Structure 1
Amino acid sequence: MSFSSTGGTSGRSNYKDIYVLLDRLCKSFEGAKGGNHKDILRHVTQYISNCPSALGSTLPYDESSLLSKITQHLNAAQASGISHTQTVSKGLLGNTSGTQSNAALFLNLNEQLKSSQLEARQRNALLTFLFFMADTKYSQENGCQSNVSASSTLSRAHYSNPNASLPPNNTMHALRGHMLQKAQPLPLSPQTSVGGASNLYNSKEINHKIPMLRQSSYQAGSQSGSENDTTSSASMIPAAASTQYAIKSGLGHDFNKILCTQNNINDNMVQNVIYAFTGIQGKYLKKDVVSGKFKLDVKAKNLNVVQAGMLLRLSELGYYHDLVQSYTDMKSGLCALGLMGQGFISALRNELTKYYGMVALLQEQLNKQKQVEKTNVFNSTTIRPERLTLMKILVWSVDPLQRLQLLASIAEACQEKKGGALASTVHGFLNNGNPMVKSLAKELLLAICGPLYQMLTKWLLEGEICDPHGEFFIECLVEVGPDRLWHDKYRVRSSMLPNFVSSDMAHKILVTGKSINFLCEICQDKHPVKGRDELKQCIEENAEHIFSSVADTKLHSTIDSIYLNTSKRVLDIVMGPHKLLEHLQAMRRYLLLGQGDFIGILMENLKSELDKPAKELYSYDLSSIMDAAIRSTNAQYDDPEILNHLDVRIMSPCEGDIGWDILSLQYTVRGPLATMLEPSMCIYQVLFKPLWRMKHMEFVLSSKIWKDQKCNSKPLRPMAAELDRVLYRLHLFTSEMIHFIHQMQYYILFEVIECSWAELQEKVQHAKALDDILNAHDEFLTTIKCGAFLDSNSGELCHNMETVYEGIVRLEVWQDKFYELCFRELNARKEYQKNILESEKTGKFGITAEKKLERDQENKIFEQTLSSLDKSLENIGGDYEKAVRCFLLALNSNNDHNLQLFGIRLDFNEYYKKRDQRLGVPLTFEHMRMSNIYFNNNKSLLGSRIN
């Protein structure tokens, strides 16, 4: 029965009056000699507190009928003259004066109850309860008793006819049966005893507090002072069960039977809930075929709304159990993959095993509860355990439900993932602020990473990858041969890299295992790695350190130590016995033309061969010439082992190529050096070709064009008057080209190659690992490639430089024709003068007219040819000058200040600047940016402007 509809101070005082009224009523039942009225009061208050709507929606009488019957009952009791009736009246109505009847006093009290704003239904239930209790006690004191079956029959007949007279020996039984059948227990708090009506028979030694009229106590709690204390004391009643009272009063058997029925129903619901916890259907809960969730069985019609709601709420735990269990079934297609996935599945199964253990404890408690009820129904001295109810299970299920929900959420995120991707997914839950989520994610992550630790240990200590499912973040390419072991055989698989392993740490792990493989397979060094035992112990004891976001843990330090130890061993081997630095020095000297005397002698010795068509060359002929060049220069003092790696290579010729176009020097590396330097050798070949061509142009200008000019100047002095104009132009263009080539050689061979080599040597001295040397070497080659205008951003420079080279080649061809013409004319003139002198000696005077005419004709042809060659030379010079001006403009507009300075040196006297207005305009940053865009995107427009 609930009295919470009003609230306020008046409501709370009414609750106190009602409690006092019930106390007096129970005392009146017992009479002056009775001592068990507190037991009756405890049962009444407990029943009202636990079952506020016990009488349901169908009360046996309406308010007017109840008032009429109670009035008749009081009048009859007052008129009977029985002593106990006076006691009842006093207990019910208090001390009254003789001037007012008991019925009138009761009606006054009822009016006061109406004025308390109590709901009509609750007031009607209270009146019904008071009437039944008074009438039953009255009947019992008069010794009016009958058997249970008769009472039940009469009670049913009485309910079917509300106007019928109430049997005096049956009312209390009828009321109890009606209330128990209609009761709808409310959910209890965890602090409240949920034993239900069975606590009626608890031992007297078990003392506990039951809230009387729970809402009255709650409202009274907001008051202070004496009122709060009074209300609190009135709302908490000491409880001690009294089975003897129930038996003595003649109510024990039937009441216990009803309680047993209710307990059986409760036990059945609890059993169904326990079944549902493990995904098993029961009497009340069935599975939905589509969603997999539990729903109430349509045949279960004896459940009230509260019970149905609690069953559905508890069945949610079974749904999440089934969901988690599905992620552990390999046939479902939802579980994680690979060895690390099996670790995750194993962790989920362990969690389910713990969950089954808790469910088994519930089942054991329920079995004990049923056993106790069967064997100790009327044994009042037995201490019974608290009953297992739906409310208790609901309180118990909070933590397991939350844990299963988290497991289901994590498992759903991890489905069909493997390896590092799986570990990264679970590691993401460590960032959750909930400690329970972090703890659970850490447990799962440790289980997942078990196979990862094994693969990591094997890789770091033995250089082997045991990864049948492709989960490790280090990948081995089996199709790659040992000659590419260091660069291409092993790599980091980014898709399998856990997010708690940084890229720097992954690189160290990669290099460590790769170094061990390199030492064992290439260098045949199979000594064990230093720090092997420390790493194993660290992984066993501090496995969770790898999850740290800061690489300052003991595990990270151990990995760093092994990385440094293995790298140092590799470095010592390649720098010592295998002479890595000496070989790099040799490639710089021979392939990058650093050995100047050797290159000069080689070109001079090969000139006759290389001037031939490409198809007429043979590599063995060129090799012998190269060996002769080595013996003729300082190269002969180099280590023979180094020289044995040097050879001549003839590339595949194209149509029209000559020997200069297809010749290349080759440096062959073997053993461990081949593994390390193999990718770089093709870059050396790319660099050798433009450097060789530049050196060839320098050789053409100095050893061919300029040398021919110096040697032919004296023989051609007789023709100086005719040749001075052409020779002046020839000498001018030659000087320009020599200056350009010398500056180009100085820039590339010294400022680019030599300076980069000095940086490489410094980095090699401070290197801690082989990769440091190789990275420095790659940077060295990249710098040279950029400085030689071979990178993607130097296309215009390379094109202009090639145009300059073409002008030099054209000048060489033109000079050959020119000197051929000059010497032919010179010889013809000498022959003509010789014929004149011989004719004079014979007494003839001069030569015939025909020969003179022929000589004049030849002289005229010579003048015409010379004029044509002069124009041709002017065209060659013009094209060359345009190419140089474009080259200078590209240098000046480049963002690299070194190239800008190089352009200044090329035009040191501002000769080209005066002849090209574009070179005279100051280039701001905006101009430089626009110039780059101009040259990169508008080559055709540039050509039209130059022409």
Structure 2
Amino acid sequence: MQGLVRSLVCSELPDLAEQDANALFLRIFQQLSSAPGGGAAEDAAVEELIAQHLRGLRKSDRGLDRHLRFQGLKNRLPSESRGNRSSVLALLFLLRGDPYAGETRSPQYFTHRGRSEPKESGASKASDPTVRTVYMGWQLSAGAGGPPTELPEAKLVRDLLFALQGVSSDCFKLDGSFEVDPAVILSRPAWVVSQKVLELATLHARLSNQASAEGLLQQALCEALRQQLQDYYEMLALLMSRKLTLRSLWSWLLAPRARLGFLATLSEATRQGVFGGAVASTVVAFAQSGDLEVQKAATRILASVVRPLLAMIRAWMTEGELQDPFGEFFVVAASVPLQDLWTRMYRLELEMVPSFLSLDLARKILLTGKSVNFIRLCCPGQVWSSTGKEATTEFDLTEIREPQEGQEGPASSGLLRGLAERVESAAQRTNEHLVRLLMDKYALGEHALALRRFLLLGQGDFVESLMDALQEELNAEADTIHRHHLMGFLDMALRQSNAQFCPADVLARLGVKLLSPSAGERGWDIFLLDYSIDAPLHVVFTPAAMQKYERTFAFLWKLRRVSHALAASWSQHMTLQRHLSFLGKAAAAPATAFSVLHRFSCLRHQLQHFVQNIQSYVMFEVLDTSWAKLQAGWRSCTDLDEVISQHDRYLVSIEEGAFLAQGCESVLSGITTLLALALDFCHLHDQACAASFEAAEAMEEAEEEDVGSVFQVLRSQPFARSLAECRAQLDGVASSFSMKLQQLLQSLEEQPELRVLDFSFLCCRLDFNGYYERQADSPAGP
């Protein structure tokens, strides 16, 4: 065999010096006569070394092509030669004839890796016969062309421990993640185990070197993750003090590998655009895992993450302050005027609400802080201070409990037990204080009653006195009326009615408002009563609410004007009738005069029936019912939002009942047209009465014995023409009234069911005996 090996060396390397040829022969023979190869791991190591050598050749030597050819030839080796593959490949590599195969490429590193280090002397053998050094691969020399050195297992384990601490070493380099140094060639088993350990080292490096994030919750999360690594560092300190093999090291790392994997996953999940309360929601999602260990770790992390959030909640609910330097809180403020504090200044950022807070609870937190700021900024002289044990209780995490085996996780069983109770207690205390403040100190109910008395015409004696005083003034052209002039009539009406006993603050707020006049309008069309509202009542009686009061006042004022005008026409009619009877000559009057007056009286009764039913329906069934509901609702209110909501519902019910809501335009138009016809009737009645009084005065001047003179007066051309014109116009008004009322009844029947009242009862009252229905069915007129 020696001869064959020597002849092979001489034939393959004929130019090699004799001394070098002998040294090479000895090493090859030592390789061939050594123990069997290490199987697949040894084959992989040798193949890797050869492939690395071929890839390192210069381009002129076609290293890449040689590497590909080597891979193809290797795969074509017969299966029966696989047992000696490493020896065959090592022998072929030693006999390579490239210009880089020199002394520097010593083949000594091809000795079997599973064997013990050769004993150098008897002294060393006697000193420690049990010592057995195990090699895991080779490490190429740093200098060009230097021989590779064997890599002991102890050095490999030491470098792995360095990597687990985040430190680069000879074997492993950190460049984003830990990788095996290109100069290190490991056996297949060592490489597999090292890669698993390096995965753990990379996870640790990412956790420990993550950039400091902006935001209190992100910073708290980073600190919690670092706290979770303390057990990992203690384990590494223990491992550094022990002599470990590669297998024992991996067995020690199995438990922390799962922990670090969870921490790394959590860290990555909270980096992808997650901010504010969403960070806590992400941790809560991990706390709902079915793994009990993951639940415990996530709960401990959550205990740190939510502390800044709970501090923000406490500051907002007790002091009304937004301690949110990074914009992480789910309550955000807008820059708006102070008068819009309640409606527009603060709002919820739904994306920032953590998952362990329900939306209803988040709204209570928002409402409580708004109430504190409203008391401080919109209630003059009021200072809100949180006192008492409940108010100063910190929103700590003493109620967070680690999940026990067989129980649900903390997120699904009440993550922060007691937080909801503390929030509701603080909200109830603050909101009830604000409601009491508005009702007692600022007399919210008293001002609402004043609006009902004056703007909704609930104070009847005041309304009649005001209408009597303003009758002449409001009949004038709209552009000739001045507000300061009307204020004097308003003060007079207040002193003449029981309204004078209202509180002085209420009377001081009452005033007159004139709309911008248009061509042809009278004072009746632009006149409105006004009621001054200031803070903090402006949050309930908003400008939009006051506009609804003004619209309702305009409608009711028109109703009362028509009712007052009809009453005045009746009084005028009665006066004329008594006057004629006192003259004793009524029997001498022609029948046409009596028929005209009788026709006026019949139509006035129809108009009064219509106006009184509309007025009674609005005043009693709409206003009184709505007011009773408002009073009952306010007594049960627990926060300002409910107070505002009850008042809004009150106005909505008034609008719907008074035909001012959307969808009732046809009804309102019909009623307005009928009221205009009633005013036309009153004007026509005034003309007829004026003509009759003129005729009566002429009759008084005629001699009593001259009956012919009396008849001549009654049959005079002006008086007869006036009565004929009035009768013709009266017939037109009566026909229009009948037709418009029939259309109104039809519109009321066609109205959809509203949320407040049903118009069917009003239809029954307006046509209780079916008179207008029969007129509608009859082809002829009335």
Q: 1:632 aligns with which of 496, 505, 519?
A: 496
Question: More helix per residue: 1 or 2?
Answer: 1
2:479 is the counterpart of 1:615: yes
Mapping of 1:224-235 within 5 angstroms?
none
State yes or no: 1:781 paired with 2:637: no
Give the drift of 1:913: 3.1
Q: 1:123-162: per-residue Cα shift (whole Å, max 9, x none)?
A: 999xxxxxxxxxxxxxxxxxxxxxxxxxxxxxx99x999x
Q: What SS does the corresponding residue of 1:747 show, helix, strand or coil?
A: helix
| Residue from 378, 386, 396 that aligns with 1:539 | 396
AA paired with 1:469?
F
Q: 1:457 Cα shift?
A: 1.9
Output the CA distance in 2 between the equivalents of 1:774 and 1:295: 67
CA contact under 8 A between 2:161 and 2:236: conserved in structure 1?
yes
Per the alignment, residue 87 of structure 2 pairs with: none
Structure 1 residues 811 and 359 mapped into 2: Cα distance closer, same or farther (>3 Å)? farther
What are the superposed Cα offsets for residues 70-93 of structure 1, whole Å, 9 maximum, x if unpaired?
xxxxxxxxxxxxxxxxxxxxxxxx
Matched residue, 1:887: 747
The code of the aligned residue for 2:763 comes to: G
Q: Which residue of 2 aligns with 1:424?
A: 281
**Partners of 1:569 and 1:642 in 2: how far apart?**
24
Q: 1:618 to 1:395 in 2, by over 3 A?
A: same
Is 1:446 the equivalent of 2:303?
A: yes
2:41–2:188 contact (8 Å) kept in structure 1: no
Is residue 687 from structure 1 mapped to residue 552 from structure 2 by the alignment?
yes
How far 1:599 moved relative to its partner?
Answer: 0.8
SS state at 1:803 partner: helix
Q: Distance in 1 between matches of 2:576 and 2:561?
A: 22
Q: Equivalent residues in 2 for 1:201-600 (5 A)?
A: 247=125, 256=132, 264-270=151-157, 273-274=160-161, 277=164, 300=184, 302-321=185-204, 324=207, 328-330=210-212, 335=213, 337-351=214-228, 355=232, 358-359=235-236, 362=239, 364-365=240-241, 369=243, 391-392=250-251, 395=254, 398-412=257-271, 415-481=272-338, 483-521=339-377, 522-526=379-383, 528-532=385-389, 535-537=392-394, 539=396, 541-542=398-399, 553-600=417-464
- Distance in 1, matches of 2:707 and 2:394, equals 111
Matched, 1:872 2:729: no
Pair 875,317 (structure 1): closer, same or farther in 2 beyond 3 Å: farther
Deviation at 1:603, TM superposition (A): 1.0
3-state secondary structure, aligned to 1:576: helix
Q: Does 1:699 align with 2:558?
A: no
- 1:650–1:663 contact (8 Å) kept in structure 2: yes
TM-score with structure 1 setting the length: 0.60
C-alpha contact 1:490 1:514 (8 A) present in aligned 2: yes
Q: Is the 8 A contact 1:485 1:518 kept in 2?
A: yes
When residues 479 and 895 of structure 1 are mapped into structure 2, their CA distance, relative to the original with a 3 A threshold, is closer
CA separation of 1:661/1:773 partners in 2, compared to 1, >3 Å: closer, same or farther? same
Aligned-residue identity in percent: 26
Go from structure 1 to structure 2 and tell me whether the alpha carbon gap of 1:817 and 1:338 turns closer, same or farther (over 3 Å shift): farther
Which residue of structure 1 aligns with residue 661 of structure 2? 791
1:877 and 1:341, CA in 2 relative to 1: closer, same or farther beyond 3 A?
A: same
> What residue in structure 1 maps to residue 12 of structure 2?
none
Superposition pairs of residues 26-65 of structure 1, within 5 angstroms: none
Q: How much does 1:602 deviate?
A: 0.8
Q: Which amino acid aligns with 1:408?
A: S
SS in structure 1 of the partner of residue 529 of structure 2: strand
Specify the code of the residue in structure 2 equivalent to 1:341: Q
Q: Does the 8 Å CA contact 1:324/1:407 hold for their aligned counterparts?
A: no
Q: Which amino acid aligns with 2:571?
A: K
The CA deviation at 1:819 is 4.7
CA contact (8 A) 1:310 1:390 kept: no
| Aligned CA distance change for structure 1 residues 433 and 551 (closer, same or farther; 3 Å) | closer
Match in the other structure for 1:810: 680
Please give the per-residue CA displacement for 1:36-55, whole angstroms capped at 9, x wherever unaligned: xxxxxxxxxxx99x977688
Say whether residues 1:899 and 2:755 are aligned partners: no
Contact kept? 1:341, 1:417, Cα under 8 Å: no
RMSD of aligned Cα (Å): 5.0
Q: How far does residue 595 in structure 1 lie from its aligned partner after superposition?
A: 0.9
Alignment CA distance shift 1:632-1:528 (3 Å): same
* Contact map agreement 1:54 1:179 (CA 8 A) in 2: no
Counterparts in 2 of 1:856 and 1:664: CA distance versus 1, 3 Å: closer
Where 1:471 maps in the other structure, the secondary structure is coil
Matches of 2:680 and 2:393, distance apart in 1 = 72
Deviations 1:653-695 (A, max 9, x none): 3333322222222222445444554454444333322222222
- Inter-partner Cα distance in structure 2 for 1:552 and 1:408: 23
Q: Would the alpha carbon gap of residues 797 and 318 (structure 1) be closer, same or farther in structure 2, given more than 3 Å must change?
A: farther
Question: Any unmatched runs of 5+ in structure 1?
Answer: 1-46, 59-119, 126-155, 162-175, 184-195, 202-243, 370-384, 919-947
Contact 2:596–2:723 (CA under 8 A) maintained in structure 1: no
1:910 aligns with 2:766: no
Larger radius of gyration: 1
Q: Secondary structure at the match of 2:773?
A: helix
Q: CA deviation at 1:631?
A: 1.5
Q: Report the Cα distance in structure 1 between the residues aligned to 2:134 and 2:231, rounded to whole angstroms.
A: 38
Alignment check: 8 A CA contact 1:530 1:562 kept: no
Aligned counterparts of 1:257 and 1:563: Cα–Cα separation in 2: 73
Q: Give the aligned residue type for 1:701.
A: L
1:818-833 equivalences in 2 (<5 Å):
818-819=688-689, 826=695
Match of 1:667 in 2: 531
* Conservation of the 8 A alpha-carbon contact between 1:697 and 1:741: yes
Contact 1:475 1:491 in 2 (8 A): yes
1:641 counterpart letter in structure 2:
D
Deviations 1:403-431 (A, max 9, x none): 2342234324xx33433333334333333
Q: After alignment, is 648-657 or 270-279 more displaced?
A: 270-279
The answer to whether the Cα contact below 8 Å between 1:818 and 1:869 also exists between their aligned partners in 2 is no
Contact 1:592/1:687 (<8 A) preserved: yes
Cα distance in 1 for residues equivalent to 2:593 and 2:635: 60
Q: Distance in 2 between matches of 1:782 and 1:892?
A: 16
- Unaligned ranges ≥5, structure 2: 1-34, 46-78, 85-89, 96-107, 139-149, 403-409, 581-585
- How far apart are the structure 2 equivalents of 1:776 and 1:892? 24
Query: How many angstroms does 1:827 deviate by?
Result: 7.6
Aligned partners of 1:647 and 1:666 also within 8 Å = yes
Q: 1:873 to 1:55 in 2, by over 3 A?
A: closer
Contact 2:684 2:726 in 1 (8 A): no
Contact kept, 8 Å, 2:603 with 2:734, in 1: the verdict is no
Report how far residue 598 of structure 1 moved: 0.9
For residues 855-870 of structure 1, the aligned pairs below 5 Å read: 865-866=725-726, 868-870=728-730
Report the Cα offset of residue 756 of structure 1: 2.3
Residue 434 of structure 1: how far off its partner (Å): 2.9
What is the CA–CA distance in structure 2 between the aligned matches of 1:687 and 1:630, rounded to whole Å?
Answer: 21
CA pair 277-516 structure 1, distance change in 2 beyond 3 A: same
Q: TM-score, normalised by structure 2?
A: 0.71
* Alignment-mate amino acid for residue 393 of structure 2: K
SS in 2 for 1:539: coil
